[in-house]
């Protein structure tokens, strides 16, 4: 599978403080790639380098096989960026914001309305952007990022401020984009979301990569294979060593299975272990 994004030994410092320390990773074409990390980990710095807004101190990065420093206007038309800064007009309505962007990229009005309906924004299309809730703004930014059918799209916290139902609609949209071959570079603080939608994740902390891989593989690596989770009829759960399970079999147990930790627990553990 071809690599749409490649990062090799990337480093960046600001006023003597290291933001990125020799990180390397790649993203396959058509992959949903989760780039995870606590605030200040270096995620934004990485994205700014990948999108040509910032130059690294050392190392390099490519998109479409081209060095990011040499990307042309045509190349950038193949990229979508979820941003609340560029091309966002608070005094304009939701509809006018998107139609303005659509006209620039020669996208039909029907396509705009289709996305508005898919993400439950159609009935709010005449509202001024400045009056929108956080979740509504995120949906507006998401639509704008994907409206011109980019090959690579950078999405920053796409479901922030949304209830589970709306988040589910965003997830369906991401899966649809993936099925069409779109490469999605996703940041999120929602580990459940990352486990559900991402094919591969990289966890960044203090400018260093502390873990990467398929979510299920990462969970398996960090789970205690010698531990068993027991569930009682009351709903209470306990974790015991596999060798001690026989001591609990006389109790009111309704199920037992190998204990598997969550991605959120792993994330917290890794970022706390590497703290300081």
| 102/99 Cα distance (integer angstroms) | 5
- Predicted TM-score (pTM) of the model is 0.87
Helices (H) and strands (E) in the chain, counts: 9, 13
Q: How far is CA 85 from CA 77, 170, 275, in A?
A: 17, 21, 31
Q: Is residue 271 part of a domain?
A: no
Same domain, yes or no: 174 and 231 = no
Q: Is residue 114 part of a domain?
A: yes
**Is the predicted pLDDT of residue 208 greater than 90, yes or no?**
yes
Domain count of the chain? 2
Q: Is residue 272 part of a domain?
A: no
Confidence class for position 233, pLDDT limits 50, 70, 90: confident
Same domain, yes or no: 239 and 123 = no
**Is the predicted pLDDT of residue 57 greater than 80, yes or no?**
yes
pLDDT of residue 1: 66
Whole domain around residue 236: which residue ranges?
Answer: 225-259
164-179 and 134-146 helices, crossing angle to 10°: 10
Same domain, yes or no: 55 and 133 = yes
Confidence class for position 73, pLDDT limits 50, 70, 90: very high
Same domain, yes or no: 215 and 229 = no
State the average pLDDT over residues 257-263. 77
CATH of the domain at 34: 3.40.50.300
> Does residue 254 or residue 77 have the better pLDDT?
77
Task: Render 72-138 in DSSP notation, one character per residue.
Answer: -HHHHTTEEE--SSTT--TTSBHHHHHHHHHHHTT--HHHHHHHHHHTT-GGGTTSBGGG--HHHHH
Q: Is residue 181 part of a domain?
A: yes
Same domain, yes or no: 172 and 250 = no
pLDDT of residue 229: 80
Each residue's pLDDT tens digit, 6-26: 999 999 999 989 999 999 999
**Is the predicted pLDDT of residue 177 greater than 50, yes or no?**
yes
Same domain, yes or no: 114 and 210 = yes
Q: Is residue 273 part of a domain?
A: no
């Amino acid at each position: 599978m071809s690599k749409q994004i490649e990062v090799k030994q990337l480093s960046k410092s600001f006023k003597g403080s290291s933001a990125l320390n020799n990180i390397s990773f790649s993203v396959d074409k058509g992959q949903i790639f989760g780039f995870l990390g606590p605030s200040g980990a270096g995620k934004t710095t990485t994205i700014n380098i990948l999108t040509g807004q910032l130059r690294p101190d050392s190392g390099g990065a490519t998109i479409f096989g081209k060095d990011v420093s040499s990307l042309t206007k045509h190349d950038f038309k193949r990229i979508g960026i979820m941003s609340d800064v560029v091309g966002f007009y608070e005094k304009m309505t939701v509809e006018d914001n998107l139609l303005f962007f659509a006209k620039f990229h020669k996208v039909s009005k029907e396509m705009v309305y289709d996305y508005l309906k898919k993400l439950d924004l159609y009935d709010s299309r005449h509202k001024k952007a400045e009056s929108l809730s956080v979740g509504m703004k995120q949906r507006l930014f998401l639509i704008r990022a994907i409206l011109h059918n980019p090959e690579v799209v950078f999405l920053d916290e796409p479901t922030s401020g949304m209830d589970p139902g709306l988040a589910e609609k965003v997830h369906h949209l991401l899966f649809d984009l993936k099925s069409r071959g779109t490469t999605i570079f996703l940041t999120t603080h929602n580990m459940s979301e990352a486990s559900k939608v991402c094919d591969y994740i990289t966890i960044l902390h203090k400018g260093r990569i502390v873990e990467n891989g398929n979510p299920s593989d990462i969970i398996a690596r960090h789970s205690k294979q010698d531990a068993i989770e027991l569930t009682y009829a009351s709903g209470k759960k306990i974790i015991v060593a596999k060798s001690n399970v026989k001591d609990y079999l006389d109790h009111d147990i309704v199920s037992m299975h190998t204990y598997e930790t969550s991605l959120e627990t792993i994330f917290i553990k890794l970022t706390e272990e590497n703290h300081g």
